[in-house]
Amino acid sequence: MHPLKFVPILKPRLWGGTKLGEVLGKSVQADGIGESWELSGVAGDVSVVANGDHKGTSLTTLIEKFPKELLGSSVVERFGHEFPILIKFIDAKLDLSIQLHPHDDLAKERHNSFGKTEMWYIMDADPGAELIVGFNRDVTREEYAQSLENDTLLELLNYEPVSEGDTFFINTGKVHAIGAGVLLAEIQQTSDITYRIFDFNRRDKDGNLRELHTELALDALDYKKKDDFKVNYPKEKDNVNDMVSCPYFKTNFLHLSSDLEQDTSNRDSFTIYMCVDGEAVIANDSGSVSIARGETVLMPANSEQISIRTKASKLLEVTV
């Protein structure tokens, strides 16, 4: 099976801007597009192949026809025919709501869904841009609830300045928000379960306050201050650098100035490449595809060899 590119699913958001079109070259027809879902098996938002023999075919149909060839035997054993990863680019013109995601057991019990562990790679950040990640001290459940009543939640939160290349791992239960002026790549479990706990009292286009999930969040929050979110990873050129490894995905950082050949015959997983800078041509025995900043390619699990031809690129390589 040849390398697969998919049609981006563009999502308007209250906080979205113009960078997905202006910086990443997406075919954006309006302002306020906050997310580009690059690779999704989420019901109602399933990605469709954009190139080659399978053009026009949905990801779920491909998995039904070629489960082990596309996903890998070990992935099928763990996740069945569910595609376990959701890949996005996010442009925050305004602050996102302050939120968290439930862990697997709670998400299964309440929503019949996976939880949502995720990571962020900062592609671009305006001067002074920040993220909210975690609390700035240990907080009790009662203190947290009181801060919502008193409108003082912001005083309890940890703010992180960001610049290009910074990487953050957001485990379930951790309060977080992407700040205004941040463009990032996101890798996450296949889930769209979010508990919104504060939205700066903003109103939507119809003048309504957006729904908050105050009660649901109480049992899902991690109230401890933890400095476990900033990822320190090697950036050695022309090498495969370990970045994030968790039960749901493994991500490597590739900063390439020359071609790279990889023997992937024993990988037993699909491989995703997100181009966060530059451009490259990625190939297996069945074909090749070009990829540039803001684009994503899925390499099927039955790719025996993967070659990357480039003079200058930065790629996130994702496997399960």
Per-residue pLDDT at 23: 95
Looking at the domain assignment, is residue 232 inside a domain? no
Which domain does 251 fall in, by range? 241-319
Residues 276 and 143 reside in one and the same domain = no
Looking at residue 317, its pLDDT comes to 98
196 is catalytic: yes
Q: What CATH code is carried by the domain that includes residue 264? A: 2.60.120.10
Catalytic residue among 78, 196, 203, 293: 196
Per the annotation, does 176 bind a ligand?
yes
Does some domain include residue 230? no
Q: Which of 184, 218, 252 is the last residue of a domain?
A: 218
Q: What's the total number of domains in the chain?
A: 2
pLDDT in tens, 215-251: 999 999 999 999 999 999 999 999 999 999 999 999 9
- By DSSP bridging, strand 130-135 and strand 157-161 are antiparallel
* Predicted pLDDT of residue 6: 98
pLDDT in the model for residue 29:
83
Q: Which residue ranges of the chain lie beneath pLDDT 50? A: none
* In a shared domain, residues 186 and 278: no
Q: Are residues 248 and 114 in the same domain?
A: no
Contact 209, 198 (CB under 8 A): no
Rounded to whole angstroms, how far apart are CA atoms 273 and 283? 11
Residue 293 lies in a domain: yes
Answer yes or no: do 204 and 271 share one domain. Answer: no
CB atoms within 10 A of CB 124: 18
CA 288 to CA 271: how far, in whole Å? 14
Q: Are residues 28 and 166 in the same domain?
A: yes
Does some domain include residue 234?
no
